[in-house]
């Protein structure tokens, strides 16, 4: 049975749960975001408004999860990378993970700023959160673009990450992917 905490050999159950839970959550948020950008911007209908509200709520769940994940990461050992991994792959793995954390923090925060600039209140479980910036339609449009492009960057990074994991599992046949499985 796998330990709850990380070891030098692999991730513990808590890290695995956070990883895969966030993977599902981020894929859902990306799918929702990609769908929402196809909907007309003018004449908001109830369907789009509901999607936006659910997307915001899930975005805050993701923000809480990434903060929990960062706290867990700081208090636990980081498992060693696969033996014999070239230096450039070691560096790439670390850089990709740092970018993931940056994007997982930036996306909900830019969504919050975007909502604030647009004059749309943000609530989480019924608690209305304070606006981060003043209402400004020009800034609102800018933050829409920033949030969207950060989402595209996250999607691209997820493809790279999943591709690398599958490469290690089926081509290299090392333990990279097994470390993060239950």
| pLDDT of amino acid 43 | 65
Options 1.10.132.20, 3.40.50.720, 3.40.50.970, 1.20.950.20; CATH of 13-180: 1.20.950.20
43 vs 151, residue with greater confidence? 151
Nearest to 61 by CA among 4, 21, 119, 91: 21
User: Taking each helix axis from N to C terminus, what angle separates 87-118 and 46-74, rounded to the nearest 10 degrees?
Assistant: 140
| pLDDT of amino acid 169 | 94
Q: What is the pLDDT of residues 45-71, one digit of tens each?
A: 888 889 999 999 999 999 999 999 999
Dihedrals phi, psi of 127, to nearest 5 degrees: -95, 120
Q: What is the pLDDT of residues 103-117, one digit of tens each?
A: 999 999 999 999 999
Compute the average pLDDT of residues 119-129.
90
pLDDT tops 80 at residue 1: no
> Percent of the chain beyond pLDDT 90?
84
d(CA 148, CA 111): 9
Compute the average pLDDT of residues 80-102.
94
Give the residue extent of every domain in the chain: 13-180
Q: Report how many helices (DSSP H) and strands (DSSP E) the chain contains, helices first.
A: 4, 2
Q: What is the pLDDT of residues 130-162, one digit of tens each?
A: 999 999 999 999 999 999 999 999 999 999 999
d(CA 65, CA 131): 22
d(CA 114, CA 135): 9
């Amino acid at each position: 049975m796998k330990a709850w905490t990380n070891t030098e050999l692999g991730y513990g159950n808590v890290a695995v749960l956070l990883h895969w839970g966030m993977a599902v959550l981020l894929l859902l948020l990306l799918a929702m975001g990609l769908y929402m950008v196809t909907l007309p911007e003018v004449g908001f209908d109830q369907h789009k408004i509901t999607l936006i509200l659910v997307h915001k709520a899930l975005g805050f769940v993701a923000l809480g999860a990434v903060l929990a994940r960062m706290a867990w990461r700081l208090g636990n050992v980081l498992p060693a990378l696969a033996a014999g991994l070239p230096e450039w792959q070691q560096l790439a793995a670390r850089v990709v993970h740092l970018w993931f954390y940056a994007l997982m923090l930036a996306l909900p925060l830019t969504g919050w700023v975007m909502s604030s600039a647009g004059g749309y209140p943000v609530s989480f479980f019924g608690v209305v959160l304070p606006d981060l910036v003043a209402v400004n339609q020009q800034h609102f449009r800018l933050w829409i673009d920033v949030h969207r492009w950060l989402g595209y960057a996250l999607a691209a990074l997820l493809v790279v990450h999943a591709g690398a994991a599958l490469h290690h599992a089926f081509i290299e046949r090392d333990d990279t992917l097994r470390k993060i499985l239950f």
